[in-house]
Amino acid sequence: SYVLTQPPSLSVAPGQTARITCEGDNIGRKSVHWYQQRPGQAPVLVVHDDSDRPSGIPERFSGSHSGNTATLTISRVEAGDEADYYCQLWDTDADFGTGTMVTVL
Amino acid sequence: QVQLQESGPGLVKPSQTLSLTCSVSGDSISSDFYYWSWIRQHPGKGLEWIGYIFYSGSTYYKQALYSRIAMSVDTSKNQFSLNLRSVTAADTAVYYCARTPGATTRFFDSWGQGTLVTVS
């Protein structure tokens, strides 16, 4: 299985851009997916297959993948974006990242 | 729009079996396009995939939990279930059911609200 490392926390001012990274050995050849989990709620898929957005997810959420790092970018951050964010990929099992708590200042 | 809802006891004694059911509405569990997964989250911790089942009954479990897991599906009720045997306090978690598109890159596009199961 993969060890996917994310920064534990990230603070960003409203209107600014948040970039959340997900690192793992040789993940460049894997598709990475991202989830948002607001406090007390179930996770919500915000990006799949590196950069595809499910219907209903704002264009402010975008994903990219280069080498051993995948990145979720949230543009024009809003108060409602305050949440935990997890990356995930599929190898022999589904592996989740360690999670990043995003705080909107 | 698909909706998933977990149900089952919120308290299980150590060494007993944890049993949960996920009821699916707005989509047929007999779809060729989806697998149906269980995922858990220990209190204050990250997410852990447990396994998934296809409507035919074929299953795939997390290797580390393989010996204690059994999943089943009831297509007539549009439900699938999880049994986790010989539980300990380490199995205390919020348990989610989720829909998994059956592509090679598996992810979870719809989730239930989750149910807290305490082992004590």
Confidence of residue A48 (pLDDT cuts 50, 70, 90): very high
Residue whose token pair is 């396009």: B33
For B107, how many CA atoms within 13 A lie in the half-sphere containing its CB? 23
Contacts of A96 in chain B (CB under 8 A): 46-49
Residue A91 pLDDT: 86
Which residues, including other chains, have CB under 8 Å from residue B46's CB and lie 6 or more apart?
A: A86, A96, A97, A98, A99
> In this predicted model, what pLDDT tens digit does every residue of B29-58 receive, in sequence order?
999 999 999 999 999 999 999 999 999 999
**Spatial CA neighbour of A94 closest among B112, B48, B93:** B48
Percent of chain A with pLDDT over 70: 100
Q: Do B113 and A48 touch (CB under 8 A)?
A: no
Would you say A28 and A67 are in contact if contact means Cβ atoms under 8 Å apart? yes
Q: Is the dihedral of CA B23, B25, B27, B30 positive or negative?
A: positive
Output the pLDDT for position A29: 86
B77 is written with which tokens?
């009720």
pLDDT in tens, B66-84: 999 999 999 999 999 999 9
| H or E element, residue B89 | none
Nearest CA to CA, how far is B61 from chain A (Å)?
8
Record: contact B107-A54, CB cut-off 8 A: no
Residues 63-92 of A with CB under 8 A from B: 86, 88-90, 92
Of the candidates A43, A48, A93, the beta carbon closest to that of B47 is on: A43
Query: Which of B 62-81 lie inside 8 A of A, CB atoms?
Result: 62-63
Assess whether pLDDT exceeds 80 at residue A28: yes
Q: How much is the mean pLDDT over chain A? A: 95
Most A-contacting residue of B42, B100, B106, B113 (CB-CB within 10 A), to test interface: B106
Residues B110-116 have a mean pLDDT of 98
Q: For chains A and B, what is the number of CB pairs under 8 angstroms?
A: 57
